[in-house]
Amino acid sequence: MFNRILIANRGEIACRIQRTCKRMGIQTVAVYSEADKDALHVKAADAAYCVGPAPVRESYLNMEAILKAAKDSGAQAIHPGYGLLSEKESFAQAVKEAGLVYIGPPPSCLNAFGDKIRARAVARAAGLQPPPGTDGPVDANDGELIAREAERIGFPLLVKAAGGGGGIGMQIVETADKLTRAIETCSDRGKSAFGDPRVYMERYVRNPKHIEVQVLCDQHGKGVALFERECSAQRRHQKVLEEAPSPAPFFSGIEGEARRTKLLADALNVVQSVKYEGAGTVEFVASAEGELFFLEVNARLQVEHCVTEMITGIDLVEQQLRVAAGEPLSAEVLAPKQTGHSIEARIYAENPLKMFAPQPGRLDKIVWPASGEDVRIETGVQEGDSVTPFYDPMIAKLVVWAEDRAAALAKLDRCLEGTQITLTGPAGPSTTNLEFLRKLAQTSEFAAGTYDTTTAETLAKALKAAAK
């Protein structure tokens, strides 16, 4: 096992990784931008290195500075967390060439799944079915091809950036006259965010559910699917409430259990087809009737990994470390047991009534509910810190567990009600999404498990109309 690792990330995920490392007796090295010099993840580390000014591209994406920090600090391995460099094949390769261990999938797996077009081909070869779409990128200047492919696939369509993620470079298109412009826009976004202007098209499943499976594989050919999560509560194609297991009606009864069993097997099959190592998530989009299509593989830890940990008792960060160190998955991990229900709420400094616009400001007051085995507060900030415009405005993740879903919902509501956050922006008092999260979890659709990826934004529009 490692004695010291560097965490190439910031905020709550850096603090989350540090917590497991401390329990395992592993020292941690933090990296930080000039804007984060007093951040919680910096204070909690055994050593810390500045890697550049505030902008992400000049600091947390500065591979050369991060690798130098790892070498100078004596770290044996690098954990990328999620986002930032976590799915960048060139970074994983550079870590390996520097004589360090990359705590994540090998570069070949990042290559297989980092390109969404290539991932669709990998999935089909493994027997999974992605939504009908193009087999390669489309060019906004090739009107004849666009028209022919759009007619074959059928509207509504999704235009998606090939190198995308997190909802970036993705647009729903209902009619042919909007298609060319959508391709141009998504291409520009893809080039800006990922350095990849390629886009492709696939059929948009109306009122879709977003279901994903947590997988874990070692270096010895063994792997396991750690059940599914439901992540359909989204705004701007980004998740705000996640839960495990999924409450979707199409998973109920004998037929539903068969569908779930096949889903887990499919998820494990697609990653093992490329000799995957470490933790990862296989994502699916589902129709209301339970028709499941392969969406993508996130070859890293997910923001919502906590709900899987809560229902299995398995520390996924610990397993990542053990796999990277060459250890086989234990018999207990390979035969997981699912207990109870867990829900995670992402608390953001944002205004749901203004299209969820980020709300930078100073965190003057933070009061969390009592935490313990059944309530987790995952955060990288404390009172007096600021939510800056440089980074994602997430303040914390509130994660609850209970013996059943009804009890978990009630606990989530109590915990959200007991959370107090005072945020002061440049022009005075600012806002968070705390109250919106409570209202979303209280909707009849969420209670029934029938909510989909449109539910959160529909609620936001209704609240905005009522506030006028």
- pLDDT on residue 144: 84
| pLDDT for 143 | 82
* The model's pTM: 0.94
Q: Which domains does the chain have, with CATH numbers?
A: 4-103 (3.40.50.20), 132-203 (3.30.1490.20), 209-467 (3.30.470.20)
Q: For this structure, is 23 an active site residue?
A: no
The per-residue pLDDT for 104 is 97
Q: Hey, what's the torsion of the CAs at 66, 216, 113, 181, to 10 degrees? A: -90
- For the stretch 425-461, what's the b/e string if a residue is b when 16 or more beta carbons lie within 10 angstroms of its beta carbon? eeeeebbbbbebbbbbbebebbeebbbbbebbbebbe
Q: What is the 3-state secondary structure (H, E, C) of the chain?
A: CCCEEEECCCHHHHHHHHHHHHHHCCEEEEEEEHHHCCCHHHHCCCEEEEEECCCHHHCCCCHHHHHHHHHHHCCCEEECCCCCCCCCHHHHHHHHHCCCEECCCCHHHHHHHHCHHHHHHHHHHCCCCCCCECCCCCCCCCHHHHHHHHHHHCCCEEEEECCCCCCCCEEEECCHHHHHHHHHHHHHHHHHHHCCCCEEEEECCCCCEEEEEEEEECCCCCEEEEEEEEEEEEECCEEEEEEECCCCHHHCHHHHHHHHHHHHHHHHHHHHCCCCCEEEEEEEEECCCCCEEEEEEECCCCCCHHHHHHHHCCCHHHHHHHHHCCCCCCHHHHCCCCCCEEEEEEEECEEHHHCCEECCEEEEEEECCCCECCEEEEECCCCCCEECCCCCCEEEEEEEEECCHHHHHHHHHHHHHCCEEEEEECCEECCCCHHHHHHHHCCHHHHHCCCCCCHHHHHHHHHHHHHC
Catalytic residue among 10, 16, 229, 300: 300
**pLDDT tens digits, one per residue of 379-425:** 999 999 999 999 999 999 999 999 999 999 999 999 999 999 999 98
How confident is the model over 63-103, as pLDDT tens digits? 999 999 999 999 999 999 999 999 999 999 999 999 999 99
* Whole-number pLDDT of residue 26: 98
Alpha-carbon gap, residue 325 to 216, rounded angstroms: 14
Q: What is the pLDDT of residue 166?
A: 65
| Spans in the chain with pLDDT lower than 70 | 165-166
